[in-house]
Amino acid sequence: MEKIWRVVIVMLLWLTCSAFGTSYPHNNQPLSKIEIHKTSFALHNSASIEVTPTLLGIKGETVEWVTVKFHHTSPSEYDWVGVFSPAKFNGSVCLDNAPELDGIPFLCTAPIKFQYANFSTHDYVRTGNGSLNIQLINQRADFAFALFSGGFSNPVLLAISNTISFLHPKSPVYPRIAQGKAWNEVRFLSVTM
Protein backbone atom coordinates (compact mmCIF):
# COMPACT_ATOMS: atom_id res chain seq x y z
CA MET A 1 0.00 0.00 0.00
CA GLU A 2 2.83 2.39 0.88
CA LYS A 3 4.45 1.75 -2.50
CA ILE A 4 1.23 2.66 -4.32
CA TRP A 5 1.01 5.96 -2.43
CA ARG A 6 4.61 6.78 -3.34
CA VAL A 7 3.87 6.15 -7.02
CA VAL A 8 0.72 8.29 -6.85
CA ILE A 9 2.58 11.16 -5.16
CA VAL A 10 5.43 11.02 -7.68
CA MET A 11 2.93 11.02 -10.56
CA LEU A 12 1.03 13.98 -9.11
CA LEU A 13 4.25 15.93 -8.61
CA TRP A 14 5.36 15.16 -12.17
CA LEU A 15 1.98 16.19 -13.60
CA THR A 16 1.94 19.39 -11.54
CA CYS A 17 5.48 20.34 -12.55
CA SER A 18 4.93 19.58 -16.20
CA ALA A 19 1.59 21.39 -16.29
CA PHE A 20 2.91 24.54 -14.65
CA GLY A 21 6.36 24.32 -16.14
CA THR A 22 5.17 24.57 -19.72
CA SER A 23 2.82 27.48 -19.07
CA TYR A 24 4.68 29.70 -16.63
CA PRO A 25 8.13 28.66 -15.46
CA HIS A 26 9.10 30.42 -12.23
CA ASN A 27 11.07 33.06 -14.10
CA ASN A 28 8.28 33.84 -16.59
CA GLN A 29 5.39 34.61 -14.26
CA PRO A 30 3.64 37.57 -15.96
CA LEU A 31 3.77 39.97 -12.98
CA SER A 32 7.53 39.37 -12.61
CA LYS A 33 8.09 41.28 -15.86
CA ILE A 34 6.99 44.58 -14.28
CA GLU A 35 9.95 46.54 -12.93
CA ILE A 36 7.85 48.65 -10.58
CA HIS A 37 10.90 49.96 -8.72
CA LYS A 38 11.88 51.88 -11.88
CA THR A 39 8.58 53.79 -12.03
CA SER A 40 8.79 57.46 -12.83
CA PHE A 41 5.96 59.92 -12.25
CA ALA A 42 4.23 62.02 -14.90
CA LEU A 43 0.84 62.68 -13.31
CA HIS A 44 -1.01 65.39 -15.22
CA ASN A 45 -4.42 66.33 -16.60
CA SER A 46 -3.81 64.83 -20.05
CA ALA A 47 -4.34 61.34 -18.63
CA SER A 48 -7.21 59.99 -16.56
CA ILE A 49 -8.58 56.71 -15.27
CA GLU A 50 -11.92 55.97 -13.57
CA VAL A 51 -13.47 52.77 -12.20
CA THR A 52 -17.14 51.89 -11.72
CA PRO A 53 -18.91 50.81 -9.61
CA THR A 54 -17.22 52.25 -6.54
CA LEU A 55 -18.92 49.90 -4.07
CA LEU A 56 -18.81 46.15 -4.70
CA GLY A 57 -20.57 43.23 -3.03
CA ILE A 58 -23.83 45.02 -2.30
CA LYS A 59 -25.77 41.75 -2.62
CA GLY A 60 -23.16 39.75 -0.73
CA GLU A 61 -20.97 38.91 -3.74
CA THR A 62 -17.30 38.18 -3.12
CA VAL A 63 -16.29 38.40 -6.78
CA GLU A 64 -17.35 41.25 -9.08
CA TRP A 65 -16.54 42.79 -12.45
CA VAL A 66 -15.59 46.45 -12.69
CA THR A 67 -15.32 48.74 -15.71
CA VAL A 68 -12.16 50.78 -16.07
CA LYS A 69 -12.26 53.76 -18.44
CA PHE A 70 -9.11 55.69 -19.24
CA HIS A 71 -7.78 58.41 -21.51
CA HIS A 72 -4.29 59.52 -22.55
CA THR A 73 -3.46 62.25 -25.06
CA SER A 74 -0.22 60.51 -26.16
CA PRO A 75 -1.19 56.82 -26.18
CA SER A 76 1.14 54.01 -27.17
CA GLU A 77 0.85 50.27 -27.63
CA TYR A 78 2.93 49.84 -24.44
CA ASP A 79 0.47 51.60 -22.14
CA TRP A 80 -1.00 49.36 -19.45
CA VAL A 81 -3.35 49.43 -16.47
CA GLY A 82 -2.32 48.06 -13.08
CA VAL A 83 -4.61 47.03 -10.22
CA PHE A 84 -3.34 47.78 -6.71
CA SER A 85 -4.66 46.55 -3.38
CA PRO A 86 -4.54 48.22 -0.89
CA ALA A 87 -5.41 51.36 -2.83
CA LYS A 88 -2.66 53.56 -1.33
CA PHE A 89 0.43 52.27 -3.07
CA ASN A 90 2.85 55.18 -3.07
CA GLY A 91 6.01 55.63 -1.03
CA SER A 92 4.39 57.80 1.64
CA VAL A 93 2.41 54.78 2.87
CA CYS A 94 5.31 52.44 3.53
CA LEU A 95 8.30 54.78 3.74
CA ASP A 96 9.32 53.47 7.17
CA ASN A 97 9.99 49.99 5.78
CA ALA A 98 11.47 51.13 2.47
CA PRO A 99 15.17 51.01 1.67
CA GLU A 100 17.04 54.28 1.14
CA LEU A 101 16.24 55.42 -2.40
CA ASP A 102 17.15 58.62 -4.19
CA GLY A 103 14.05 58.68 -6.39
CA ILE A 104 11.35 59.38 -3.82
CA PRO A 105 8.40 59.40 -4.44
CA PHE A 106 8.35 55.76 -5.42
CA LEU A 107 5.92 52.88 -5.55
CA CYS A 108 6.41 50.44 -2.72
CA THR A 109 4.07 47.74 -3.93
CA ALA A 110 3.51 45.93 -7.19
CA PRO A 111 0.18 45.51 -8.97
CA ILE A 112 -1.88 42.41 -8.26
CA LYS A 113 -3.18 42.38 -11.85
CA PHE A 114 -2.44 44.19 -15.08
CA GLN A 115 -3.73 44.46 -18.62
CA TYR A 116 -2.54 46.26 -21.73
CA ALA A 117 -4.58 49.41 -22.41
CA ASN A 118 -5.37 48.26 -25.95
CA PHE A 119 -6.50 44.76 -24.89
CA SER A 120 -10.21 45.28 -25.53
CA THR A 121 -10.14 48.72 -27.18
CA HIS A 122 -8.18 48.05 -30.35
CA ASP A 123 -8.19 51.68 -31.51
CA TYR A 124 -6.75 52.96 -28.20
CA VAL A 125 -3.43 53.92 -29.80
CA ARG A 126 -5.28 56.07 -32.35
CA THR A 127 -7.94 57.63 -30.06
CA GLY A 128 -6.35 57.60 -26.60
CA ASN A 129 -9.62 56.33 -25.11
CA GLY A 130 -9.88 52.85 -23.66
CA SER A 131 -12.02 50.60 -21.51
CA LEU A 132 -11.40 47.30 -19.71
CA ASN A 133 -13.59 44.93 -17.70
CA ILE A 134 -11.62 43.42 -14.83
CA GLN A 135 -12.77 40.85 -12.29
CA LEU A 136 -11.91 41.51 -8.64
CA ILE A 137 -12.03 39.21 -5.65
CA ASN A 138 -12.71 40.51 -2.14
CA GLN A 139 -9.29 40.32 -0.58
CA ARG A 140 -9.97 42.37 2.51
CA ALA A 141 -8.62 45.69 1.20
CA ASP A 142 -9.65 48.50 -1.13
CA PHE A 143 -8.49 48.83 -4.75
CA ALA A 144 -7.07 51.53 -7.00
CA PHE A 145 -6.11 51.39 -10.66
CA ALA A 146 -3.25 53.17 -12.38
CA LEU A 147 -2.52 54.01 -16.00
CA PHE A 148 1.11 53.55 -17.04
CA SER A 149 3.09 54.20 -20.19
CA GLY A 150 6.63 53.05 -20.95
CA GLY A 151 5.88 49.34 -20.91
CA PHE A 152 6.99 47.06 -18.08
CA SER A 153 10.70 47.83 -18.07
CA ASN A 154 10.39 51.63 -17.62
CA PRO A 155 6.90 52.32 -16.26
CA VAL A 156 5.70 55.90 -16.15
CA LEU A 157 2.73 56.55 -13.85
CA LEU A 158 0.25 58.77 -15.72
CA ALA A 159 -2.97 58.64 -13.68
CA ILE A 160 -4.47 57.08 -10.56
CA SER A 161 -8.14 56.11 -10.32
CA ASN A 162 -10.72 56.61 -7.66
CA THR A 163 -10.68 54.10 -4.80
CA ILE A 164 -13.19 51.26 -4.83
CA SER A 165 -13.96 48.59 -2.25
CA PHE A 166 -16.28 45.80 -1.25
CA LEU A 167 -19.13 46.69 1.11
CA HIS A 168 -17.76 44.31 3.77
CA PRO A 169 -14.06 43.99 2.94
CA LYS A 170 -13.04 42.39 6.24
CA SER A 171 -15.71 39.69 6.37
CA PRO A 172 -14.47 36.12 5.90
CA VAL A 173 -15.58 34.82 2.52
CA TYR A 174 -14.20 31.29 2.41
CA PRO A 175 -13.84 28.48 4.94
CA ARG A 176 -10.56 28.51 6.86
CA ILE A 177 -8.62 25.51 8.11
CA ALA A 178 -6.06 25.90 10.90
CA GLN A 179 -3.94 23.69 13.13
CA GLY A 180 -5.71 22.82 16.37
CA LYS A 181 -4.20 22.67 19.86
CA ALA A 182 -2.92 19.13 19.33
CA TRP A 183 -0.88 17.78 16.41
CA ASN A 184 -3.80 15.66 15.22
CA GLU A 185 -6.46 18.34 15.54
CA VAL A 186 -7.74 20.64 12.79
CA ARG A 187 -9.99 23.64 13.27
CA PHE A 188 -12.52 24.52 10.58
CA LEU A 189 -14.20 27.91 10.44
CA SER A 190 -17.19 28.33 8.17
CA VAL A 191 -18.91 31.66 7.84
CA THR A 192 -22.29 32.18 6.27
CA MET A 193 -23.24 35.54 4.94
Residue-wise pLDDT tens digits, 130-182:
999 999 998 888 999 999 999 999 999 999 999 999 998 877 666 667 777 88
Q: How far is Cα 67 from Cα 127, in angstroms, rounded to an integer?
A: 18
Q: What pLDDT, on the 0 to 100 scale, is given for residue 27?
A: 58
Other Cβ atoms less than 10 A from the Cβ of 116: the count is 16
Domain ranges in the chain are 1-32, 34-171
Check residue 15 and report its DSSP letter: H
On whether the CB atoms of residues 49 and 147 are closer than 8 A, the answer is yes
Is the overall model pTM greater than 0.85, yes or no?
no
Q: What pLDDT, on the 0 to 100 scale, is given for residue 60?
A: 87
Helix (H, G, I), strand (E, B) or coil at 155: coil
Q: How far is Cα 133 from Cα 52, in angstroms, rounded to an integer?
A: 10
* CATH architecture of structural domain 34-171: Sandwich (2.60)
Alpha helices in the chain (DSSP H): 2-23, 124-127
On whether the CB atoms of residues 115 and 53 are closer than 8 A, the answer is no
Q: What pLDDT, on the 0 to 100 scale, is given for residue 168?
A: 85
Task: State which residues of the chain have pLDDT below 70.
Answer: 1-28, 90-108, 172-176, 189-193
